[in-house]
């Protein structure tokens, strides 16, 4: 099964999330820099209330940053969805955010399923989610790509649980523990990304922070 590709737009993801039930006071904002002081100065926004960070990047960059053999150490309280739909990584990233923050949404029932694979299949078979997704694929500022258009860009999510930060990537089988909190969530995540991307030459990387 294939879904249309979602634009990596803070506005589109915010409106998409609101339709799914995300609190109206929450919004995604684009982070122009991994240096939070720079982002805060440019955006004049505080990142202290950041609930999640979505990263969009080429798959090759993501796999260099978090190798396939990265130890998982999954947290049993995290709700993970295995992506079974081609090009649905943007939606899966948003679903991971909503299911793992204090947000009530129309996808909450998926959390009651026992396995990541079962949750992925539930998304695949949900015609309401497909209709909502198609609506927001047509809301961006760029032309809607063909259904079978090839792309190497992928969405993942960073979320804090306890004293740890996890990466939620629907291509994987489980959440991956990537670093520990040493200050606030946004600062710790950006520090991890700066260290991992210091020698990265591919600049097709975008970060969207979910703030309250």
Q: Kindly indicate the confidence band of residue 205, based on its pLDDT and cuts at 50, 70 and 90.
A: very high
Determine how many CB atoms are found less than 10 A away from the CB of residue 146: 9
**Per-residue confidence (pLDDT) for residue 76, from 0 to 100:** 80
pLDDT tens-digit map of 49-101:
999 999 999 999 999 999 878 777 777 889 999 999 999 999 999 999 999 99
Query: How many angstroms separate the CA atoms of 85 and 27, rounded?
Result: 26
Q: What Cα–Cα distance (Å) separates residue 38 from each residue in 22, 182, 191, 205?
A: 28, 20, 13, 17
pLDDT tens-digit map of 111-124:
999 999 999 999 99
**Per-residue confidence (pLDDT) for residue 206, from 0 to 100:** 94
Range 10-211 has CATH code 3.90.580.10: no
Residue 103, SS3? coil
Sheet holding 176-180, edge to edge: 27-30, 206-211, 52-58, 153-161, 164-168, 176-180
Domain ranges of the chain: 10-211
């Amino acid at each position: 099964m294939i879904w249309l590709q979602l634009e990596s737009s803070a506005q589109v993801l915010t409106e998409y999330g609101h339709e799914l039930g995300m609190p109206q006071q929450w919004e995604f904002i684009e982070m122009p820099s991994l240096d939070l002081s720079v982002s805060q100065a440019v955006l004049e926004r505080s990142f202290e209330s950041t609930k999640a960070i979505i990263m969009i990047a080429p798959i090759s960059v993501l796999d260099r940053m978090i190798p396939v053999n990265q130890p998982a150490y999954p947290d049993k309280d995290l709700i993970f969805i295995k992506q079974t739909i081609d090009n649905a990584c943007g939606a899966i990233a948003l679903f991971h955010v909503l299911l793992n923050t204090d947000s009530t949404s129309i996808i909450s029932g998926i959390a009651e399923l026992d396995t990541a694979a079962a949750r992925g299949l539930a998304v695949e078979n949900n015609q309401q989610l497909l209709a909502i997704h198609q609506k927001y694929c047509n809301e961006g500022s760029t032309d809607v790509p063909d259904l079978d258009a090839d792309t190497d860009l992928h969405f993942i999510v960073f979320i804090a649980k306890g004293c740890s930060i996890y990466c939620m990537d629907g291509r994987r089988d489980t959440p991956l523990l990537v670093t520990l909190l040493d200050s606030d969530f946004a600062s710790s995540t950006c520090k991890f990304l700066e260290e991992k991307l210091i020698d990265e030459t591919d600049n097709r990387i975008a970060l969207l922070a979910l703030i309250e």
